Amino acid sequence: MDRLNRYLMKKAAVTIGGLIIFACCVLLMERLLRIFQVVATSTNPASDTSQMIVNLLPYYLGIAVPMALLLGVIITVDRFSRSSELTAAFGSGISLFHMTKPFLLLGTFLAVITLFIEGYMQPVGRYNYRQVEHSVKQQSFTAALREGTFTSVGNRTFFAGTDLPGAAIGPIFIYEKQMDGYRQVGVRLTTASQGEIIIREKTMDPVLQLSKGQIYRVVEGKKLDGDLQFESSSIAGAASPVIFRQRGDDEREMTSLELLENRKGNVTRFNVNADINNATLHLRLAKSVLLLILPFIAVPFGLNYGRNPSSAGIAIGVIFLISLQKALEFGQSLGAAGKIPPWAGIWPIIIGVALFALWIFRKSAYKMGQPPLTSVSHYMGHIQGEISSKIKAIHRFGAEAG
């Protein structure tokens, strides 16, 4: 690799890396509020929060990498153009395709990384995130009975009022689902004026001691079945810990190798049919292939010639990538629903993007003329000028009328 390509690769790598870190931080900020709500009843909130964030990172990396690659290459080429280094390179006989090689190498590297992220880290991270969330909700009564909050623990939902003198709390409301296997057959409602948490000496299990309360049972048809009043009652032990299900109940928790194994939908340990399985597998492969195509789109979007450089590349690039992502998700949903073959919702879009990349790069590299987005920038500038002139005319008319 010559010195120019090393220079371009270094500039692009730094920009892409910075954009990936920035995008992940922004995306995590949106989820942090939800995480804080989940760990509000946790006995170890710092550890649980850090585990949930680490398990979320692969998901956000899958979103950030394509955007960072496209914008990083556009910004690098734009700076290279504005500093007249691009003109000097062309004057030295260096072709645009030659200058695209370092970006293509970066795209290939990120495509391999994305295969691993999308195919292994994301599914396992998603499952681990749900497992930690489930574990946080399976807390003891001490964590569940927080002042003025509703907390679900297993099949029970607890509510405790304000603290009372001594160690008592109240009033207390408990909503408990009555299950027959996997089917809910009724609801038991328990209310008490106050309660007290005690710890058994032998087992160290917490016991919620209730006093002066009532128990109602709502069966199918929403009819009350009995009304039991009590002076004293207890709910012994911590909330029964429910073992979290095995990974693979959701196609998003399956690795790419597992999706490949279950492509006929006949693997019994996975509860995923063939259409959903294959649509997810095609989407993951397509995201990696897309990273090989994006440099040929980003380079023309970043080109600038002349005294009035265009700055529309970044805006159009963002709109293009978001639209493409939504189109791929829509194609996947059609394939998962069985309305079209799973591959037909993904690969025609990728082929269309590849043809567009071939056309726009060939137009930029082998034909003389302004960069592809120059006319778009000039058109937007013309519209902006027209709007400004209209606003000035309205202000002038208002001033004369006044």
pLDDT digits (tens, 9 = 90+) for 302-322: 887 655 555 677 888 889 999
- SS3 per-residue string spanning 54-85: HHHHHHHHHHHHHHHHHHHHHHHHHHHHHCCH
Cα 157 to Cα 36, 136, 153, 179, 388, distances in angstroms: 19, 14, 6, 14, 59
> Is 208 found in the same domain as 332?
no
> Is 171 found in the same domain as 89?
no
> Is 55 found in the same domain as 121?
yes
- Residue 387 in any domain: the answer is no
pLDDT at 199 > cutoff 70: no
Which of 187, 211, 235 represents a domain boundary (last residue)?
235
> Is 327 found in the same domain as 213?
no
165-194: pLDDT as tens digits: 655 677 888 888 877 776 777 888 888 888
Query: Which structure tokens are listed for 225?
Result: 């079945």
pLDDT at 18 > cutoff 90: yes
pLDDT at 239 > cutoff 60: no
- Residue 398 in any domain: the answer is no
Burial bucket for residue 378 (CB in 10 Å: 0-12, 13-18, 19+) = middle
pLDDT for residue 281: 94
pLDDT at 245 > cutoff 60: yes
For the chain, what percent of residues have pLDDT higher than 70? Answer: 75
pLDDT at 40 > cutoff 50: yes
Residue 326 CA to residue 366 CA, distance in Å, equals 32
User: How wide is the angle at C-alpha 79 spanned by C-alphas 74 and 84, nearest 5°?
Assistant: 130
- Going 25 to 31 to 33 to 39, the CA torsion angle's sign is negative
- Residue 23 in any domain: the answer is yes
DSSP state of 163: B
CB proximity list for 61: less than 8 A, separation 6 or greater:
20, 24, 117, 121
> Is 112 found in the same domain as 253?
yes
> Is 188 found in the same domain as 212?
yes
pLDDT for residue 91: 80
Q: Which domain holds residue 104?
A: 3-136+247-382
Residue 209 CA to residue 124 CA, distance in Å, equals 41
pLDDT for residue 154: 67
Among residues 308, 294, 256, the alpha carbon closest in space to that of 277 is found at 256
> Is 313 found in the same domain as 224?
no
Which of 189, 210, 235 represents a domain boundary (last residue)?
235
Confidence of residue 221 (pLDDT cuts 50, 70, 90): low
Residue 193 sits at φ, ψ, to 5 deg, of -70, -30
> Is 73 found in the same domain as 180?
no
pLDDT at 67 > cutoff 80: yes
Higher pLDDT among residues 183 and 286, named by residue: 286
> Is 184 found in the same domain as 131?
no
Whether 295 contacts 361, CB under 8 Å: no
pLDDT for residue 269: 79
> Is 86 found in the same domain as 173?
no
- Residue 400 in any domain: the answer is no
Among residues 27, 190, 56, the alpha carbon closest in space to that of 122 is found at 56
> Is 169 found in the same domain as 286?
no
Residue 99 CA to residue 106 CA, distance in Å, equals 13
- Residue 395 in any domain: the answer is no
> Is 255 found in the same domain as 332?
yes
Whether 207 contacts 199, CB under 8 Å: yes
For the chain, what percent of residues have pLDDT higher than 90? Answer: 35
Average pLDDT over residues 231-258: 73
Confidence of residue 17 (pLDDT cuts 50, 70, 90): very high
Q: Could you count the other beta carbons within 10 Å of the beta carbon of residue 342?
A: 24
343-379: pLDDT as tens digits: 999 999 999 999 999 999 988 877 655 666 665 555 5
- Residue 396 in any domain: the answer is no
Helix or strand holding residue 189 (H, E) = strand 183-199
Among residues 291, 297, 292, 314, the alpha carbon closest in space to that of 360 is found at 297
Residue 377 CA to residue 398 CA, distance in Å, equals 32
- Residue 241 in any domain: the answer is no
List the single range of 83-87, 260-264, 376-380 with lowest mean pLDDT. Answer: 376-380
- Residue 401 in any domain: the answer is no
Residue 16 CA to residue 348 CA, distance in Å, equals 28
- The per-residue pLDDT of the chain, averaged, comes to 81
Q: How many domains does the chain have?
A: 2
- Going 274 to 276 to 278 to 281, the CA torsion angle's sign is negative
Average pLDDT over residues 244-255: 83
Average pLDDT over residues 89-115: 90
